Amino acid sequence: MSETTAHEWTVLRAAHQALRSAVHGVADGDWNRVTPCEGWTVTQVLQHAAGDQIGFAAFLTGAPGPSENPFAPSGVLDRTPVEVAEEAMAASAAGWATVGEDVEEVPVPVPPGKMPATLGVGACALDAAVHAWDIAVATDQPSPLGPELARELMPVATSIVEPLRAYGAYAPALEPVDGDGDLAALLRHLGRRPDWSA
């Protein structure tokens, strides 16, 4: 294994910062607002995002997985939202810290179940970043997912998302629109309207 450490996974660090920013920016009364994830509140999107980060960590390290199904979030938290997010991101970052960039195959909780490390960490980062966007736009915050990160995540999205649509993890892709920037193009590929509002 190489000497790669967590701080070198810049895409994951950027995605976690986006999620951190979104969660910290939610006002106390906004956790039950609707989101771009149809049928889910802001709290449920947070639970899903946190569960996915813990799921990636569990596959990498053998640690316990999420305490509830990330695809059926209860909407009830047993800790503060910040604690939920931070604990999940810490587990994910620690798991990826054990993986070098040159590793050709790592176990992941998404099809096909194993990926090169650089693609696997990208999948983990994509999940955190897009749900950061969901939380932010649902609570009237600016997008914490910027064009540079979106540009970096687009090749990951085009590589992994199609099989996940069959499981309901992503909606069907939306048609590109002339003039779309990197963020809008990524969001449409993930089945989200860039102009979504509650």
Query: Cβ distance 51 to 68 under 8 Å?
Result: yes
Beta strand segments in the chain, E: 106-107, 114-115
pLDDT of residue 165: 86
Provide the sign of the torsion angle of the four alpha carbons 42, 49, 3, 146, taken in this order. negative
The single-letter DSSP state of residue 147 is H
| Stretch (H or E) spanning 155 | helix 147-165
pLDDT for 1 equals 38
Domain ranges of the chain: 6-170
What span, in angstroms and rounded, lies between the C-alpha atoms of 122 and 61? 17
Contact 91, 53 (CB under 8 A): yes
* Residues of the chain scoring pLDDT < 50: 1-7
Please give the CATH number for the structural domain made up of 6-170: 1.20.120.450
For the chain, what is the total number of helices (H) and then of strands (E)? 6, 2
pLDDT at 8: 67
pLDDT tens per residue, range 46-81: 999 999 999 999 999 999 999 999 999 999 999 999
- Beta strand 114-115 with 106-107 is antiparallel
pTM over 0.85: yes
Question: Alpha-carbon distance 54 to 73, whole Å?
Answer: 14
Q: Does residue 39 contact residue 148 with C-beta atoms inside 8 Å?
A: no
CA distance 44 to 21: 17
